[in-house]
Structure 1
C-alpha cells in the first residue's frame, strides 16, 4: 500500500524521530511511505482557540496538499481528530482519509505484531484526543502487548488528563501544573522507566514535569517503541 505521512508541525519541528519511526514500521511491514514537502499545520491550534478563519485557510491547504492520497497516516491523535471532526465544518464535505497511526495499523492493516523489541517497563498514557475525540480505545495497548521484551505497567487513573490541553497549559498554568503533578505521581508509582503516548504534545508536558523531578523516567512516542527505537 502507498501511504502518505502527515508528520504534524510539532513532530516536524521538535520530534523528527517520531516521524522516522512511523516510516520505519510501515516500511518494515512492506508498505511505501511518501512525504508531501508542502505540508504545514493542520490548523488545530487555530480551531480550538477560536481563530476559525485562519483554521479554514490551513484546512483548505491541507486538503490540496494531500489530494489524491487514499491513505494518510499521522502520529498525532489530536491532529487526526481535528481533520476528522473540524474539517467538515471548516471546508464542508468529507474530510481527507487521515488515520491516527495505531488505528491505521490495527483497523486498516489488521496488524498488532509489528516485530518490535523494546526491553523496558513502559506505562501508556492515553491522551484526551485519542480517548474522547477518536475513540482509540485499546488499540495502542494491543500493539504494545505484542512488543517483545517489554513489560507493560498498569497506570492508575490513566484516563485523567495530564493538564496540557494546548493553550490551556498557558492560560491556566496553575491548574495545568496541578494536573500534571497528579499524573506524574501515578506514573512514578508504576515503576516504569518509559512513558509513551500517541501525542508528543502531551508527552512534552509530562516529560517536562518528570525532568524537573529528576525522575530518570523517559517519554517516547508509541511509534518509537514499535520501531524498536530508543533501547
Structure 2
C-alpha cells in the first residue's frame, strides 16, 4: 500500500458519526432473492458459518446469490487512512450487486461499512454516491435480516445451555447487532443468555489495530476472554468473525476449552438444521 493522505490515520471511531442503528423501515414481505456478502474473514477462516447463513436463509424460502468476485469490503484500508485503496476495493464490490436484491452480511462491522462509510468514500462522485446510497438502503446484517425482514420464529430443539453473546463494538454502534442477537437468542427456550463484564468493549481485534498495537490488543482480549470465561457460560456466540478469530485464538493460547461460534451456526444447529460447524 502507498502512504495514506494524512500522516496520522483516522480511527473509525472518530469518523463521521453514522445514523443510529434501527431507525429504518423494513419491507412488509421478505424477498424471494438476496445476495450474501460473505466477508473476507468468514470466507478464509469460517466458511462453515457462511454455509450455515445460507441454509438459514434458504429455510425461509429465499434464494441466495453469492457473487464469486467478492472480496474485502475495504474496511481495513479505510480505517487505516488509505482512502484511495479503500475506494478501489469498494468500487469492485459495488459492481457485483447489480440486481435490486437485499444484501445480507453475516458481520455487523462489514455491513456497517456498506451502510455508513461507503458514502464518505464516494462523497465527491455523485453518480457513484447514488449507487452507494441505494446499496446502503438494502444492506442488512444477518441477524437483523432474520429478525426484522424474515420475522423468523425459532423452535429450539437443543438441550439447556448457558450462552454469552459477544458483539463487535463497531457493529453495536452502527448496526445494533447486540439488540438483534439478543432477540434471536430469546426465542430459544432452552438457551439462557448470561451477561458478562466488558460486554460492550472491544475484544482487541480492530482489524489492523491488533497488528499495529499488539500489546494493547493482547491486553484487551485477555480482559474479554476472562470476562467470558467468568460468566459461567457453556458457549460463546458472536455474529462477527473477526472477533471470533481473536477471541478463539486467545482461548486456545490460554488452553481454555471455551470457544466462540458464529450466530448463524448456533441458530441452525439449535433449530434442527445440519451445521457445518464442528461444535456439537
Question: Structure 1-normalised TM-score?
Answer: 0.93
| Deviation digits for residues 168-209 of structure 1 (CA, Å, limit 9, x no counterpart) | 111111111111111111111112221111111011111111
Q: Structure 2: how far apart are the matches of 1:209 and 1:72?
A: 32
In the alignment, is the contact (CA less than 8 A) between 2:221 and 2:247 conserved in 1? yes
Q: Do the aligned residues in 1 keep the contact of 2:73 with 2:110 (CA within 8 Å)?
A: yes
Equivalent in the alignment of 2:164: 123
> Quick one: distance in 2 between partners of 1:22 and 1:139?
15
Deviations 1:119-162 (A, max 9, x none): 33211012112211223341101101222532322222311111
Structure 1 residue runs without a partner (length 5+): none
2:95 corresponds to: 64
Aligned to 1:13: 44
3-state DSSP class of the match of 1:66?
coil
**Cα separation, 1, equivalents of 2:81 and 2:158:** 41
2:191 to 143, 150, 159: 150
Measure the CA separation in 2 of the matches of 1:14 and 1:210.
16
Give the TM-score, by structure 2 length. Answer: 0.78
Name the SS for the 1:165 alignment partner.
coil
1:95: how far off? 4.6
Matched residue pairs, number? 230
Contact 2:60–2:150 under 8 Å retained in 1: no
Change in CA separation of 1:118 and 1:56 when aligned onto 2, cut-off 3 Å: farther
Alpha-carbon distance between aligned partners in 2 of 1:103 and 1:18, rounded to the nearest angstrom: 16
Aligned pair in 2 of structure 1 residues 59, 78: CA closer, same or farther (>3 Å)? same
For residue 203 of structure 2, give the secondary structure of its aligned residue in structure 1.
Answer: coil
1:76 matched to 2:107? The reply is yes
Asked if structure 2 preserves the Cα contact closer than 8 Å seen for 1:87 and 1:95, the reply is: no
> What is the CA deviation profile of residues 29-58 of structure 1, one whole-angstrom value per residue up to 9, with x for unaligned ones?
221111111212111111111111111112
Task: Provide the residue aligned with 1:89 in structure 2.
Answer: 120
Determine which of 225, 229, 243 is the counterpart of 1:202: 243
What is the RMSD computed on CA atoms of the aligned residues?
1.5
Match of 1:176 among 193, 199, 217: 217
Q: Distance in 1 between matches of 2:156 and 2:60?
A: 11
Which residue matches 1:114?
A: 154
Q: Secondary structure at the match of 2:187?
A: coil
Q: Which structure would you say has the larger Rg?
A: 2
Kept in 1: contact 2:115–2:139 (CA 8 A): yes
Q: CA deviation at 1:64?
A: 1.0
CA distance in 2, matches of 1:98, 1:32: 16
Q: Unmatched 5+ residue regions in structure 2?
A: 1-31, 123-128, 270-274
